[in-house]
Structure 1
Amino acid sequence: MRVGVLDIGSNTVHLLVVDAHRGAQPLPAFSHKAELRLAEHLHDGDTLSPEGERGLRKFIEDALRIAEDKGVEDVMAFATSAVREAVNGEKVLTALRAATGVDVRVLSGPEEARLTFLAVRRWFGWSSGRLLVLDIGGGSLEIASGMEEAPDVAVSLPLGAGRLTRRWFTADPPPAKEVRALRKHVRAEIGRVVGDVVRYGRADHAVATSKTFRQLARIAGAAPSAEGAYVRRTLSKDDLSRWAERLVSMTHAERAALPGVSAGRAPQLAAGVIVADATMDLFDLSSLEICPWALREGVILRRLDMMPGA
């Protein structure tokens, strides 16, 4: 069947149309997205602004028309940290449901981690052993580890690249004092959960998903996305550490000129590399493999698993 997945993230809102069948890998058929940056529209005590709400409604209306044109039978919609943390999030989604008929499910941080873990497990299979999965989003960092399709532990921390950029940096490039302060904060936050994750056992295979990790791997020499999903891409700790110092001292424009970095994501990359570097260091990881599947694929797979006859 052809399904549409509507992903309402902190930075980007994305409609992914896939051909999906139980027991088969979901095959992307069409993609439509926009950088609405909803997290930047949280004002006055984390209230989503009218402008942000209008932008979201327009995107959903456009996405529904596109989905119909593409022959989509079912649209699954979910939202992550920006809507989850908006004090008027439920009110906004109720209004959207009334206007568009779309029922948006708000995922908790641990749910994001578990669904992303499911996608990574299906991509790499059982031979990968115990997985450690890391995902840096716009609003949060998700960490999950386990031997099965459901992780033993799933953690979400408020360490998204967009969130940290807005709250900690005041200039382009950020002053060294702010970089040091953010680095200390990030390492303290991650350090609190390392013991909870590793007590289940050391990972046989450490994996990263998300735009931030993909960009960092590309900067460090990984193959471009044009070479396809099946090309193996890795990010070593040595390469990341070298780039961590360079990226925080670059301007937005200088980062945007690097391979694989978009102008819209460049401002967040300094905070993103601080989180990535801290995570690899505190979990004592020499390298990460980049997985092309993440949260959206996890949502699709879970839906297929729950279909009658599964």
Structure 2
Amino acid sequence: MLDIGSRSVHLKIADLVPGGPPEPVATLKQPVHLAEATDRHGVISQDAIRRLVGAVTESEAVVAAHQVDDLVPLATSAVRDAANRNTVLAAIEDATGVRVRFFSGEEEARLTFLAARGWHGWSAGQMLLLDIGGGSMELACGSRTEPAVALSLPLGAGRLTRHHLPDEAPVHKRDVARLRTYVRSVLMEATAELRAQPAPVSAIATSKTFTQLARLTGAPKPTAGAPGRSTLARSDLRKWVPRLAARSDAERARLTGISASRAHQSLAGAIVAETAMELLDVRQVTICPWALREGVLLDRLAALGTPPLPAVAVPRARNHTLHRLHTVS
């Protein structure tokens, strides 16, 4: 799978064999920083388009070297919602021959829910999923493999930072309050159906945003081969919002769990995560290492005739966050 996100182009190659989980083969991650290169009108800059074309070209060379049978080139909201997305897609296809597709936001929510269900198994019961990307936030809930409700909202951490927060720190309390009010209004309007569902047995969060916030608030660092079980408590997260607001990007990057590349949008990510958890009455979320890419792989496995879920939760003896797509027929 070739995943074109708001920050990077991420190629993951995996063997898909009916009856087993996706087996990792190779991975390549290249920064392109589309979010930072998108102006307030939603236009991705020409420099960023050139970086993107170069990253796809390099990924294609890796795909050829591994003799990949089935490449899924997928763009998420950074390209999907861009005002010049047709120009971006045409530039990629003209230079590489790769025709990039994109899912609707609701389909992204469905596939991410499938990944979380695959990781946690049936024991998760009625499950609520939260996922914060650079351009959008996906929410889903349900008790089966397919969610009963799947939503995508324009509440990505990068998007909110660009449109609602000042460039320089410290960020004033009034700016934090305005952003929290905006996030709450969007959530209130869009999540009535979600909030009408039965109370979840499990609240699951995916994405780098939630993973880094969990580390920031004290969760242990996952290790290769033993991802562990990280959680994020709303009460702990709320304490960190004013602390992030008071710090510059460089100071945030020195905090536990916050990477330099995501420091600028970490405040917005914390605000939307904390506000969503409050509105949905979630005190704590469990961090899931599987997300959209793994959902696509599981969907492909189902197409090969493999049941979408095992009878119990997927074993956690290895790190499954490094998958890419290489199907075996």
Question: Do they fold alike, i.e. is TM over 0.5?
Answer: yes
Tell me how far apart the structure 2 counterparts of residues 131 and 33 of structure 1 sit (CA, whole Å).
30
Closer/same/farther in 2, CA of residues 34 and 119 from structure 1, 3 Å limit: same
Within the alignment, does 1:99 sit opposite 2:95 as a pair? yes
Where does 1:111-150 land on structure 2 (aligned, <5 Å)? 111-150=107-146
Closer/same/farther in 2, CA of residues 142 and 309 from structure 1, 3 Å limit: closer
Q: TM-score, normalised by structure 1?
A: 0.93
- Which residue number corresponds to residue 225 of structure 1? 222
Conserved? CA contact 1:212–1:269, under 8 Å: yes
Tell me how far apart the structure 1 counterparts of residues 220 and 251 of structure 2 sit (CA, whole Å).
21
Alignment equivalent of 1:258, drawn from 255, 259, 262:
255
- More displaced, 37-46 or 296-305? 37-46
Within the alignment, does 1:41 sit opposite 2:37 as a pair? yes
Tell me how far apart the structure 2 counterparts of residues 18 and 49 of structure 1 sit (CA, whole Å).
32
**Identity over the aligned pairs, expressed in percent?**
46
Where does 1:160-309 land on structure 2 (aligned, <5 Å)? 160-170=156-166, 171-226=168-223, 228-307=225-304
Amino acid at match of 1:120: A
Amino acid at match of 1:174: V
- Which residue number corresponds to residue 317 of structure 2? none
Alignment equivalent of 1:27, drawn from 23, 27, 31:
23
Tell me how far apart the structure 2 counterparts of residues 128 and 117 of structure 1 sit (CA, whole Å).
12
Tell me how far apart the structure 1 counterparts of residues 189 and 282 of structure 2 sit (CA, whole Å).
17
Tell me how far apart the structure 2 counterparts of residues 62 and 176 of structure 1 sit (CA, whole Å).
44
Q: Structure 1 residue 67: deviation in Å? A: 2.4
Conserved? CA contact 2:40–2:163, under 8 Å: no
Q: Structure 1 residue 68: deviation in Å? A: 2.6
Tell me how far apart the structure 1 counterparts of residues 273 and 225 of structure 2 sit (CA, whole Å).
24
Alignment equivalent of 1:86, drawn from 63, 82, 107:
82
Higher relative contact order (CA 8 A, sep 6+): 2
Q: Structure 1 residue 81: deviation in Å? A: 0.9
Tell me how far apart the structure 1 counterparts of residues 105 and 22 of structure 2 sit (CA, whole Å).
24
Amino acid at match of 1:129: G
Tell me how far apart the structure 2 counterparts of residues 148 and 232 of structure 1 sit (CA, whole Å).
22
Closer/same/farther in 2, CA of residues 43 and 253 from structure 1, 3 Å limit: closer
Amino acid at match of 1:25: P
1:172-214, Cα deviation, whole Å (9 max, x unpaired) = 2322221111111111111223321021211110000000100
User: Partner of 1:304: helix, strand, or coil?
Assistant: helix
Amino acid at match of 1:101: G
User: Partner of 2:18: helix, strand, or coil?
Assistant: coil
Q: Unmatched 5+ residue regions in structure 2?
A: 308-329
Conserved? CA contact 2:115–2:294, under 8 Å: yes
Conserved? CA contact 2:18–2:305, under 8 Å: no
Q: Unmatched 5+ residue regions in structure 1?
A: none
